[in-house]
Amino acid sequence: MLRMSAVAVSAALALFSLAACGGGAADGKAEPDTLDPAADLSKQTLTLSNWAGYMPEDLPAKFKARTGAAVTITEHATNEEIIAKLTAGGDSGIDVAFVSGQFAQALGEQGLLEPVHADLVPNLKNLYPEATELAYDPGNKVSVPYTWGTTGLCYRKDLTGYEPDSWNDILTPRPALKKKITMLGTERWMLLPAQKALGFSANTQDEGELAKAKEALVKAKPNLLAFDDTTFGDRLKSGEAALVEAWDGWCPTTEKNIAFTVPKEGSDLWVDTMVVLKSSKNKEAAHALINYILDPEVHAWAAQNIMYKVPNQAAMESLDAALVKDYPHLGMSPADLLKQESLVDLGEAAPAYTRIVTEVTAQ
């Protein structure tokens, strides 16, 4: 999903602070440039940074055929990697970047993003109304959502012997499940089960609540098979694991006996977004590219190939019913998705999350 690593978010935030000293509006907000709707896009060349395999391979060729603008693709493995590049000072050379919502929020607050020119992105009309209600960027002022989803319990019905429905099924498992459980190891998602089980916000900055969440994780660790962000699906298939914390699109529900559910205490709402850099010299083509991606046929590719919901109503309505049957999370309505808690930038609290993860994994 978000392709996030355990690299310290605090380091990225430190870079944000340095970048803020080097440019942007005095209040950290970028003023929109004046763009030309009639610009000759064939004279503009874009560099786009994205995660590997996160969009169609033929997208650059098809976009050039439609608009005349050439696109060069670069890849980043994590949010932190691209953030470091974008905040290193000067022109990164990147026009459009894919980053998760809370990172788009932080970049926007530092004045590093061009506000979205809605008149140049008419396909914004294809987005669900709920896609304009995201806490990290209400109204999509500096970012456009590409994929969204949630996190929950992915499990083998034949191995659990029951249908888990609570984060406590992972934190305080039944005896038969001990050492057959994995949790995600990245900052926000390692803390998520404890935060929700304790009734806390997934964005809490309260020191007392974070201490209690850490305590719950320390108690849970001896019962875990592993912290695992990448191979939990394979562990489920092989039977090595019976119950895992998983991002919805990564739960292999096409396999017999594997199911996914959102715990009764609630979960998160994660979003991956597209942003235009303030430093871009090709902003008209950048907006045209985002508009092209929001074409229902193009945007549907993400749901059809990486099994993530997209906030594009026309694209989702075009999906084959058999696909949604195989991947039931694709049928989750935007209204239900927005019942989960949107992840936002943690600001000065980010190092506390990093510290907790370090301390829990070290025990």
Q: Are residues 167 and 258 in the same domain?
A: yes
Residue 20 included in any domain: no
Q: Please tell me whether residue 94 adopts helix, strand or coil conformation.
A: coil
For the segment 167-180, what is each residue's pLDDT rounded down to a tens digit? 999 999 999 999 99
Q: Long-range CB contacts (< 8 A, 24+ apart) of 210-218?
A: 210/349, 210/352, 210/353, 210/356, 213/356, 214/356, 214/359, 214/360, 216/171, 217/171, 217/190, 217/191, 217/356, 217/360, 218/360, 218/363
Q: Are residues 222 and 243 in the same domain?
A: yes
Q: Are residues 324 and 247 in the same domain?
A: no
Residue 223 included in any domain: yes
Residue 25 included in any domain: no
* Statement: residue 19 has pLDDT above 90: no
Instruction: Quickly state the pLDDT bin for 8 (edges 50, 70, 90).
Output: very low
Residue 324 included in any domain: yes
> How does strand 70-75 pair with strand 151-156?
unpaired
Helix (H) or strand (E) holding 197: helix 187-197
Q: Locate 328 and state its tokens.
A: 């039931």
Q: Are residues 140 and 155 in the same domain?
A: no
Residue pair 213/193 in contact (Cβ under 8 Å)? The answer is: no
Instruction: Quickly state the pLDDT bin for 89 (edges 50, 70, 90).
Output: confident
Residue 339 included in any domain: no
Instruction: Quickly state the pLDDT bin for 354 (edges 50, 70, 90).
Output: very high
Q: Are residues 241 and 165 in the same domain?
A: yes
Q: Are residues 108 and 207 in the same domain?
A: no
What's the number of domains the chain is made of?
2
CA distance 48 to 96: 5
Q: Are residues 193 and 143 in the same domain?
A: no
Q: Locate 323 and state its tokens.
A: 């696909």
Residue pair 84/15 in contact (Cβ under 8 Å)? The answer is: yes
* Statement: residue 195 has pLDDT above 60: yes
Q: Are residues 247 and 354 in the same domain?
A: yes
Which residues form the domain of 134? 41-148+270-332
Q: Are residues 306 and 228 in the same domain?
A: no
Closest CA relative to residue 275, chosen from 19, 78, 56, 82:
82
Instruction: Quickly state the pLDDT bin for 28 (edges 50, 70, 90).
Output: low
For the segment 128-137, what is each residue's pLDDT rounded down to a tens digit? 999 999 999 9
* pLDDT of 32: 84
* Statement: residue 361 has pLDDT above 80: yes
Residue 242 included in any domain: yes
For the segment 102-128, what is each residue's pLDDT rounded down to a tens digit? 999 999 999 999 999 999 999 999 999
Instruction: Label residue 208 exposed, middle or buried (CB < 10 Å: 0-12, 13-18, 19+).
Output: exposed
Q: Are residues 207 and 304 in the same domain?
A: no
Identify the CATH number of the domain in which residue 253 sits: 3.40.190.10
Average pLDDT over residues 67-72: 98
Q: Are residues 56 and 169 in the same domain?
A: no
Residue 9 included in any domain: no
Q: What is the rounded average pLDDT for all residues in the chain?
A: 92
Q: Are residues 175 and 207 in the same domain?
A: yes
Residue 141 included in any domain: yes
CA distance 11 to 178: 35
* Statement: residue 78 has pLDDT above 50: yes
